[in-house]
Amino acid sequence: ASTLGAQAAQSGRYFGTAVAAGRLGDGTYTGILDREFNSVTPENEMKWDTTEPSRGSFNFGPGDQIVNRATSHGQRMRGHTLVWHSQLPGWVGSIRDANTLRGVMNNHITTLMNHYKGRIHSWDVVNEAFADGSSGQLRSSVFRDVLGNGFLEQAFRTARTADPAAKLCYNDYNIEDWNAAKTQGVYRMVRDFKARGVPIDCVGLQAHFGAGGPPGSFQTTLSSFAALGVDVQITELDIAQASPTAYANTVRACMNVTRCTGITVWGIRDSDSWRSGENPLLFDRNGNKKSAYNAALTTL
């Protein structure tokens, strides 16, 4: 096939991109979006600061704009993200009472998942909960500090009840190298959830890579998570300088793992990227395909 989405679909996978609602009026942007991609992740529009800026007051406008457009163009949706320490409004961060925070977290998860029920194939239920450089420690956040490590399990159980049909993912960065302590910590959490029947269906590996691309152990990491009985997804791929080899190595690792069900790049053109200074994406500022695009397409 001649596009990323159609080629990925030949092996039952998706190829997606992050989309920003503020760019949907740009015809070059939407032209590439609709031609190449069959899955969409809202770059910011489903985060807590946008969706529940004050307690109990929900704003679905920007998220709905992206979801409605994707649905009408035959694109599937990832949901990103329900529980995260960042882009979190101050009113959540200042809660000190555990029962209050548990109720607030559960209500946020339930309200978003109910609103988008049936329209999201996979939800990043918890994003970036583990600390860098250690194998079992969660990072400090209001969720960990007030609720304890059990907030993770609580979030996934609440999510399963809210939308039993959605795949529930744990999503993080710096878990691509099998030899990294953080990877081992997430691996042990997933193994523990599986052993105890805590609902989890997928691990999202963000894959924000430096110029060298994925670590040599990347495929081992994907297959090791998959062997626990979860899908793996590459959820936020971008690579400094976008070397074709680095992109091909990333795509090949996914193709070699049956349970690697899809790849999402974190933006369309270099000018759309949160790392725009590093030119990390598949399309240049004019919307032309870069050599990394061809490397990705021919490896799918």
Active site residues: 236
Q: Considering beta carbons, is residue 60 or 274 the nearer one to ligand XIL? A: 274
Coil, helix or strand at residue 193: helix
User: Site map for ligand XIL, 135-164, x if CB under 6 A?
Assistant: ------------------------------
- Say whether residue 43 binds ligand XIL (CB under 6 A): yes
Count of residues in contact with ligand XIL, rule CB under 6 A? 6
Cα–Cα distance measured from residue 202 to residue 219, given in angstroms and rounded to the nearest whole number:
16
- Say whether residue 60 binds ligand XIL (CB under 6 A): no
Q: Considering beta carbons, is residue 58 or 274 the nearer one to ligand XIL? A: 274
Q: Where are the alpha helices (DSSP H) in the chain?
A: 4-9, 27-36, 48-51, 61-72, 90-93, 98-115, 142-147, 151-162, 181-196, 218-227, 244-255, 291-299
Coil, helix or strand at residue 65: helix
Q: Considering beta carbons, is residue 41 or 154 the nearer one to ligand XIL? A: 41
User: Site map for ligand XIL, 210-249, x if CB under 6 A?
Assistant: --------------------------x-------------
The residue nearest ligand XIL at its CB is: 274
- Say whether residue 58 binds ligand XIL (CB under 6 A): no
Query: Contacting ligand XIL (CB under 6 A), which of 206, 221, 250, 279?
Result: 206
- Say whether residue 127 binds ligand XIL (CB under 6 A): yes
State the minimum distance, in angstroms, from the CB of residue 243 to ligand XIL: 21
Q: What is the DSSP letter of 4?
A: H
Q: Considering beta carbons, is residue 44 or 219 the nearer one to ligand XIL? A: 44
> Which residues make Cβ contacts (< 8 Å) with residue 251, sequence separation at least 6?
263, 295, 296, 299, 300
E strand or H helix that includes residue 77: strand 76-83
Q: Considering beta carbons, is residue 47 or 121 the nearer one to ligand XIL? A: 47
Q: Considering beta carbons, is residue 82 or 300 the nearer one to ligand XIL? A: 82
CB-based burial, 42-73: b 16+ in 10 Å, e otherwise: bbbbbbbebbbeeeeebebebbebbbebbeee
State the minimum distance, in angstroms, from the CB of residue 172 to ligand XIL: 8
> Which residues make Cβ contacts (< 8 Å) with residue 169, sequence separation at least 6?
122, 123, 124, 125, 200, 201, 202, 203, 204, 233, 235
Position 65, amino acid: Q
Q: Which two tokens stand for residue 95?
A: 């809660």
| Residues in region 271-290 near ligand XIL by CB under 6 A | 274
Q: Which two tokens stand for residue 300?
A: 């799918």
Coil, helix or strand at residue 6: helix
State the minimum distance, in angstroms, from the CB of residue 173 to ligand XIL: 6
Cα–Cα distance measured from residue 82 to residue 51, given in angstroms and rounded to the nearest whole number:
10
The count of other CB atoms within 10 Å of the CB of residue 298 is 11
State the minimum distance, in angstroms, from the CB of residue 127 to ligand XIL: 5
State the minimum distance, in angstroms, from the CB of residue 206 to ligand XIL: 6
State the minimum distance, in angstroms, from the CB of residue 229 to ligand XIL: 24
Taking a C-beta distance cutoff of 8 angstroms, is the pair 62, 68 a contact? no
Query: Contacting ligand XIL (CB under 6 A), which of 7, 17, 39, 44?
Result: 44
Contact footprint for ligand XIL (CB under 6 A): 43-44, 127, 206, 236, 274
